[in-house]
């Protein structure tokens, strides 16, 4: 699977756990057109066959950058039409990413700037290296966040703080991200991936239909009024009742053994 992509690597860890690595370390994993194509293809493949995955850990190659954002060298001299065509590709990729039913845990190993910060914000939750840095710098370049940043950041840190971050373009630390609720955990640089994989493995060991339905209920329920969200939750819950996994979960509890979930 990893041989199918030019700018990302995909490593199967077994049991439905996958590491997705942004792999352009010589340019701080900056996102060029090909990375947009590769990420779109990856998430399209997951969305088409979600049973093949239980949890994805997303990180960057090297120890200095998660993703520096869009590749500005590639964009130098682009015509308006070419720029917009590239951005349409990025928009399609972001929709595939945010629509992914499988949990994605971000392991932010270094700088996550501009589009890189937006990729981080698309993850379901983040663990960050203590040395990571974040920024949405687009307004300093005559553009604005266009890969979900103006929507996902306020949902993570609140409207007023998001306005300060986006309108100034000022970087902030991993500690800030943690204090503001954007990052769930800070990790020593050498332990980041291990801690992320430990949590991802725990998710992957749970019943996959239950995990996907719970993610769906949380994500879409927050976009509704409470009564509608409660109705969505019950619809998601009722999907569990006729499954083999639900019967296996109850049987394993009563038999005092670890459940073996099959996603059925």
The pLDDT assigned to 63 comes to: 87
β-sheet with 65-67: strand ranges across: 65-67, 111-113, 133-135, 172-173
Enumerate domains of the chain plus CATH numbers: 2-204 (3.90.226.10), 206-254 (1.10.12.10)
The pLDDT assigned to 4 comes to: 85
The pTM for the full model equals 0.91
Q: Which of 125, 134, 116 is nearest to 69 (CA)?
A: 116
Q: Which of 56, 51, 5, 53 is nearest to 32 (CA)?
A: 5
Tokens 């990790």 belong to residue? 187
What would the pLDDT profile of 65-116 be if each residue is shown by its tens digit? 999 998 888 888 889 999 899 999 999 999 999 999 999 999 999 999 999 9
Q: Which of 234, 255, 208 is nearest to 56 (CA)?
A: 208
Mean pLDDT of 177-204: 96
Q: Are strands 17-22 and 8-14 parallel, antiparallel or unpaired?
A: antiparallel
Looking at the predicted structure, is the pLDDT value of residue 48 above 70?
A: yes
Q: Are strands 111-113 and 65-67 parallel, antiparallel or unpaired?
A: parallel
Mean pLDDT of 131-152: 95
Task: Measure CA of the first residue to CA of the last residue in the chain; give whole Å.
Answer: 24
């Amino acid at each position: 699977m990893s041989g199918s992509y030019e700018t990302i690597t995909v490593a199967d860890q077994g049991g439905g756990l996958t590491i997705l690595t942004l792999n352009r370390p010589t340019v701080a994993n900056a996102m060029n057109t090909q990375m947009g194509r590769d990420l779109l293809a990856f998430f399209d493949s997951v969305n088409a066959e979600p049973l093949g995955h239980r949890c994805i850990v997303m990180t960057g190659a090297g120890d200095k950058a998660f993703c520096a954002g869009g590749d500005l060298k590639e964009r130098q001299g682009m015509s308006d039409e070419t720029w917009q065509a590239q951005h349409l590709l990025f928009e399609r990729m972001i929709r595939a990413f945010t629509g992914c039913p499988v949990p994605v845990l971000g392991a932010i190993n270094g700088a996550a700037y501009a589009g890189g910060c937006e990729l981080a914000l698309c993850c379901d939750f983040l663990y960050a290296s203590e040395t990571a840095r974040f920024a949405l710098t687009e307004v300093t370049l005559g553009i604005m966040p266009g890969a979900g940043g103006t929507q996902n950041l306020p949902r993570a840190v609140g409207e007023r703080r998001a306005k300060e971050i986006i309108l100034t373009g000022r970087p902030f630390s991993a500690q800030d991200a943690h204090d503001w609720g954007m990052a769930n955990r800070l990790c020593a640089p050498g332990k980041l991936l291990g801690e992320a994989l430990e949590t991802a493995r725990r998710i992957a060991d749970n019943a996959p239909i239950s995990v996907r339905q719970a993610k769906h209920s949380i994500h879409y329920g927050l976009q509704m009024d409470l009564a509608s969200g409660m109705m969505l939750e019950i619809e998601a819950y009722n999907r569990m009742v006729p499954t083999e996994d639900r019967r296996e979960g109850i049987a394993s509890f009563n038999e005092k053994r670890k459940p073996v979930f099959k996603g059925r």
